[in-house]
Chains A and B, each alone.
Chain A
């Protein structure tokens, strides 16, 4: 039987070479496990998880999804996300949860999900100074007019993204809305305090 032959072969080897003969075997096992590991990583990132819809040069469903032509609301959200992640997300976090000592959360924030967008649009266009209460917590940090450099359409897309992401369910913001607020502020860009914001219509 096979097992008998194995035994005879190995015991003969063991008698001759001893521990030296087992060393290459360990190396072989380690190398094989290493190759399997990196092969697994490669398969994970390039295999598309055997989806029937994923062909090369697309490597995953996510990547294929990113190349789908966008239309309407989807396009606005994708555009808003892009700007959010490069401008706002650095402090507020890509997940909108904020960062202690840097920026308050946007997900679930009453400032973001308010009925109107007037106060919300003021924040990126003029900035905020002083203490502001978000979700029952006081934040005493200053924010510059980070959104003033964005075009109306881009800022509207960002605000729409804020109001419709991370479980937020508020209405969309149009470029005309943003333009109205921007015209209201005019050339006198002064950071607003929370009280000043609250005095404005919602």
Chain B
């Protein structure tokens, strides 16, 4: 074969380039990931999962949960936001004039149009967003000036995007969130909701178990198939199991029968409860809602 070497070279370059781009470069970029610190605290993130939850990830994988659920929250915007929460007894018209008198300040000058646009069609009801943008100085200056007049505002760094609007996350998912996941169950189809905050939405293990056995007992419109093979239905007898699910009548298997979660079900529920990517990190800053007054 006369062109053997050329063919080899071409194949080598083609495969080498994709290896470089898809394997080597990401490894260089994220391979050294370590635990990081939650913003403005000394707590570390993420925490190693409990033993049950670590096993639960393997059940999650085996049951194919990732076929319909994702574990990745997208974010498309970020803004320093100032929301007017109380007028402090001033009429809305007066408030607008009062606000205008401050918009000539050097820190606010450039944003006066955008702030007034936010109040263009305002009917005087609160809360209303006064400012949402890049500049933190606008928020701090306005907060201070309005506070003097007894007008209450709440401010913070807010992440935005369709996933966040649906309540699936409070910020985007970043590499640090998956540090202890092996394998990482990103998922690519959303027949069900994203689970990055599953443990925040329903932190109760029993609710998670009930949802696994009979999804419609928790959410009427659920399209999730019941995972009954993770449970054991058996005769209650004279000493019923303390672990037996408390089922609504229509989902109960029958008289004298009880539904007991297997070890797999308990592990999976523990894993779901451990999904709590709700803390601000350096790479994904935001103001936690619990801090609001």
Contacts and interface: CB of A to CB of B under 8 A. Distances in A.
Interface in A1-29: 1-2
Contacts of A57: 75-78
B3 interface: yes
Contact of B40 (A71, A86, A151): A71
Given A69-B39, A83-B107, A55 B174 contact: yes
Contacts of B134: 66
A2 B6 contact: yes
A70 B109 CA distance: 22
A70 B285 CA distance: 11
Contacts of B136: 66-67, 70, 78
Contacts of A154: 141
Interface stretch (A46-54, A101-109, A126-134): A46-54
A65 to B, nearest CB: 9
B219 interface: no
Contacts of A71: 40
B11 to A, nearest CB: 15
Contact of A82 (B2, B6, B137, B174): B137
Interface in B122-152: 134, 136-137, 140-141, 144
Contact of B29 (A50, A58, A64, A83): A50
Contacts of A70: 136
Interface string B265-286: 0000000000000001011110
Nearest to B75: A57
Interface residues of B, number: 33
Interface in B95-118: 106-107, 109
Given A79-B140, A82-B137, A83-B106, A52 B30 contact: yes
Interface in B4-34: 6, 25, 29-30, 33
A55 B283 contact: yes
A154 B106 CA distance: 11
A68 B76 CA distance: 17
A39 B106 CA distance: 36
A144 interface: no
A87 B106 contact: yes
B287 interface: yes
A86 B110 CA distance: 10
A69 B285 contact: yes
Given A2-B6, A71-B40, A153-B144, A53 B283 contact: yes
A114 to B, nearest CB: 26
B2 A58 contact: no
B77 A64 contact: no
Nearest to A68: B285
B172 interface: yes
Contacts of A69: 39-40, 157, 280, 285, 287
B175 interface: yes
A51 to B, nearest CB: 8
Contacts of B30: 52
Interface string B32-47: 0100000110000000
Given A70-B136, A78-B137, A53 B282 contact: yes
A84 to B, nearest CB: 10
A94 to B, nearest CB: 14
A68 B282 contact: yes
**Taking each of A57, A58, A78, A87, which has the highest tally of chain B beta carbons within 10 Å of its own beta carbon?**
A57
A2 B5 CA distance: 12
Contacts of B282: 53, 64, 68
Nearest to A75: B140
Contacts of B76: 56-57
B201 to A, nearest CB: 23
Interface in B63-86: 75-78, 80
A177 B76 CA distance: 44
A53 B281 CA distance: 10
10 contacts: A50-B29, A52-B30, A52-B175, A56-B76, A57-B75, A57-B77, A64-B283, A67-B78, A67-B157, A68-B285
Given A50-B25, A52-B175, A71-B40, 13 more contacts: A1-B3, A52-B29, A53-B283, A54-B283, A55-B174, A57-B78, A64-B282, A64-B283, A66-B136, A69-B40, A75-B140, A78-B137, A86-B107
Listed from nearest, the 8 A-B pairs whose CB atoms lie closest are A86-B106, A82-B137, A53-B283, A52-B29, A52-B30, A67-B285, A87-B106, A57-B77
